[in-house]
Amino acid sequence: MAGKFITFEGGEGTGKSTQIKLLCNYLEQKGKEVVATKEPGGTEVGLEIRKLLVCGDKDKFDAVAEALLYFADRHIHLSQKVWPALAEEKWVLSDRFADSTVAYQYYGYNKRISREVLEQLYKIAVGDFKPDLTIILDLEPEKGLARSFAKARNMAIKELRFEDRELEFHQNLRRGFGEIATAEPQRCVVLDADKTVEALHADIVRVVSEKFGI
């Protein structure tokens, strides 16, 4: 496919959506057509799935059920939005993708779901497709969660199902993102998100420019 698929990953409150907006502007100034999207909820049906996943009691279902729903959302997202945009040579920036399932449903839950099951689901829902670049924003969970809870105060519907999990869950998933990056250094870059919005944006522009020569 002719376009580029860049995913942003990280724990809660790491600033992904702000950085996606800034990178979107940067790429548009460079003459690219850009689609900014997210998981879960990058499509109309996906928004329904998102509600099931991020609202309500943290224990309403387990990691296996979550993984199935995230991959359902992902398959719809890819087939209805991401793949058609890439085929039209657009650059697609996604706020989360499959690394979040590995980090949250596997590492976050202390590996209570098997890695093989996640790999099988990936094959079914995604096939051999992968992001061209994954930017992992790394931040101490205490700092990220404080940002997330502050943001949620202004939300009519509280999307705090994962934020409500214990600190250990968030520490596990941060370690998980680190392991994902170590296993795939060609695709993944970890950036320190504990800096100003402008400084982090500059780091992201540097990574994107080096990788794609723009």
Site for ligand TMP, rule CB under 6 A: 12, 38-40, 53-54, 70, 96, 100-101, 104-105, 159, 162
Q: Residue 110, by phi and psi: left (phi above 0), alpha (psi -120 to 50) or beta? A: left
CB 89 → ligand TMP: shortest distance, Å? 25
* Buried residues in 148-165 as b, exposed as e (16+ CB within 10 A): beeeeeeeeeebbbbbeb
Q: Residue 115 CB, nearest distance to ligand TMP (Å)? A: 14
HSE-up (13 A, CA, CB side) for residue 180: 29
Quick one: 91 or 109, whose CB is closer to ligand TMP? 109
Least distance in angstroms from the C-beta of 213 to ligand TMP: 29
State the nearest-atom distance from the C-beta of 57 to ligand TMP, in Å: 14
Tell me which H or E stretch contains 19: helix 16-29
Euclidean distance between CA atoms 85 and 162, whole angstroms: 30
Between 17 and 182, CB nearer to ligand TMP: 17
